[in-house]
Amino acid sequence: MTRSVIAGTGGYLPVRALTNDELAEAYGLDTSDAWISERTGIRRRHMAAPGETTADMAAAAAREALAQAGADAAEVDAIILATATPDSAFPSTATRVQEKLGIRQGFSFDISAACTGFIYALGVADSMIRTGHCRSALVIGAEAFTRILDWTDRGTCVLFGDGAGAVLLRAEGGEGDRGILSTHLHSDGRHGDILQVEGGLVRMAGREVFRHAVAKLASAVDEALAANGLAQADVQWLVPHQANRRIIDAMGRKLGLPAERVVVTVDRHANTSAASIPLALAEATRDGRVARGDLVLMEAIGGGLTWGAALARF
Ligand code: ACO
């Protein structure tokens, strides 16, 4: 049976980083480091440079994933890129990345599922590999999210940052147990108005999103474990979407995981939407925390509403 194995991970963060105080100062916000960090865990975020595109950041993350996998561009036959901040409606950001990486074969397209985008992209890529549409796929989450923030709305503009993360999936046959075990995707369009882009800018009913987040993520996690006959105790790493420290901690507690088994970047990256999970994965593989053979649970919720979970053995 063909499985998709995560052969490499990569991440990219723009050079410019602003602390909460620096952000407040730069945008004249009536807020404080204490308010932001106590409610969200966010202490700083990165911001793309003028002219730095979503595709630029995505290509940088993809290059690291290829290098870590010991792969070159000629091996890649699909690019599936999740973003809520594409550089244009078309060409897709994925085809721009294809061009930047010098890839001349295969196919590429974008996925729109807001903060759940990476889980969706992983699910689609895994299905396409299993069914023989491609042998390898770059799965990317990339966002220039600070470009769609309303800098007069302190309830949203302090929460987000820019960046990109990528994994290279490779088809592998045989009896091994490495690879994506399963992905679980959900959406409910009735709740579209609690987190949306309206007139080009993000609007959010924070408390409503919070309420949905904890319940829906818990049910997606239970579904992923049950589908694989696994127990909470089998999970070695939780790599959650990085929206808010309180949501992350609630999921860690639900799984009974000690804090050091939950990969957290929200303090330094803020919420990078579709990029947050692959950025966290890249960090945790780079520093040796997530190692070959480890069972990793990923989960996310975002605008749509969309939500989902994925289980992978590295
Ligand atoms: N600084 C200071 N005060 C602020 C700020 C700020 N940055 N933002 C809002 N406030 C004020 C509000 O004006 C309000 O003041 P008032 O009582 O005088 O009217 C007060 O703080 C409370 O506002 P709430 O919006 O009710 O604040 P809440 O305690 O719910 O915290 C937060 C807001 C942090 C967004 C919370 O609702 C939350 O974590 N929600 C989860 C949603 C989330 O994480 N979204 C991220 C994107 S979605 C995703 O990725 C899943």
Reported as a single tens digit per residue, the pLDDT across 209-241 is 999 999 999 999 999 999 999 999 999 999 999
Nearest CA to ligand 1 atom 35: 206
Query: How do beta strands 78-82 and 136-143 pair?
Result: parallel
* Residues forming the active site: 115, 241, 271
Nearest CA to ligand 1 atom 2: 31
Give 108 Cα–ligand 1 centroid separation in angstroms: 37
Q: Which residues contact 71 (CB under 8 A, 6 or more apart)?
A: 7, 8, 136, 168, 170
Domain limits, CATH 3.40.47.10, in the chain: 3-172, 179-313
Candidate of 85, 201, 210 to mutate for ligand 1, largest count of ligand atoms within 8 Å of Cβ: 210
Query: What CATH number belongs to 3-172?
Result: 3.40.47.10
Q: What kind and span of H or E run contains 103?
A: none
Atom of ligand 1 nearest to the CA of 276: 50
Q: What is the pLDDT of residues 88-125, one digit of tens each?
A: 999 999 999 999 999 999 999 999 999 999 999 999 99
Nearest residue (by CA) to ligand 1, atom 22, is 155
Which residues form ligand 1's pocket by a CB distance below 6 Å?
31, 35-36, 39-40, 115, 154-155, 158-159, 195, 204, 206-207, 209-210, 213, 243-244, 271, 301-302
CB 64 within 8 A of CB 10: yes
Would you identify the CATH topology of the domain 179-313? Peroxisomal Thiolase; Chain A, domain 1 (3.40.47)
Tell me the pLDDT of the chain (314 aa) as tens digits.
899 999 999 999 999 999 999 999 999 999 999 999 999 999 999 999 999 999 999 999 999 999 999 999 999 999 999 999 999 999 999 999 999 999 999 999 999 999 999 999 999 999 999 999 999 999 999 999 999 999 999 999 999 999 999 999 999 998 888 999 999 999 999 999 999 999 999 999 999 999 999 999 999 999 999 999 999 999 999 999 999 999 999 999 999 999 999 999 999 999 999 999 999 999 999 999 999 999 999 999 999 999 999 999 99
Q: What is the pTM of this model?
A: 0.97
Measured from the CA of 206, which atom of ligand 1 is nearest? Answer: 37
Q: How far is the CA of 155 from the centre of ligand 1 (A)?
A: 5
CA of 184 to the centre of ligand 1 (A): 29
How many Å lie between the centroid of ligand 1 and the Cα of residue 101?
40
ipTM above 0.95, yes or no: no
Q: Where are the alpha helices (DSSP H) in the chain?
A: 20-27, 33-40, 54-69, 93-100, 117-130, 154-157, 206-227, 245-255, 266-269, 276-286
Interval between CA 85 and ligand 1 midpoint (Å): 22
To which residue do tokens 């080009």 refer?
200
Cα separations in angstroms, 182 against 61, 229, 308: 24, 11, 11
Atom of ligand 1 nearest to the CA of 31: 1
Atom 50 in ligand 1: residue holding the nearest Cα: 243
Looking at 230-294, list the stretches that DSSP marks H as alpha helix, in order from N- to C-terminal side.
Answer: 245-255, 266-269, 276-286
Bridge partners (DSSP) of residue 310 are 183, 298
**How far is CA 116 from each of CA 17, 68, 240, 298, 310, rounded to the nearest angstrom?**
24, 25, 10, 10, 11
